[in-house]
Structure 1
Amino acid sequence: MTTFGIIGAGAWGTALASVLAGNGAVTLWAREPEVVALINTARENALFLPGIILPDGITATGDLADVAACDVVLIVVPAQHLRAVLANAALPPATPLVLCAKGIEAGSHKLMVEVAQDLVANPIAILSGPSFAAEVARGLPCAITLACGDPDLGERLILAMARPEFRLYQSDDVIGAEIGGAVKNVLAIACGVVEGAGLGLNARAALMARGFAEMTRFGVARGGRAETLAGLSGMGDLVLTCSSENSRNFRLGVGLGQGRAIADLLAGPAVAEGAATAPVLIEAALAADVDMPISQAVAALLAGASVDDTINSLLARPLTTE
Structure 2
Amino acid sequence: MCATFFSRLLLNVRCKRQGLTLTMAGQALEPEAEFMEFFGATMPALRDTVAKRAADLSSQTGPNKRPHLEAPKQGKGKGWGKGSRNNGGWGNRIQHSTPTQAPFTLSSDDLQHMMHIMARLLVQQDNEIQMIKMDKQFLLHFETRPQGMVHMFWESAQVWKQAKAEQPPKVDKSLMVTLLLCMMMELEARLDKLSWPYMVWTGEKLELDNNKAAIPHDDMMEIIREIKKNLLDKTEELVHKFHSVLGLAEQMEGDTLPFLLSISTRGALADRTFELFRMLEGNTVLRIVGARLRGERLRRQPLVNQLVDAMAQLQLSK
**TM-score, with structure 2 as normaliser:** 0.27
Higher relative contact order (CA 8 A, sep 6+): 2
**TM-score, with structure 1 as normaliser:** 0.26
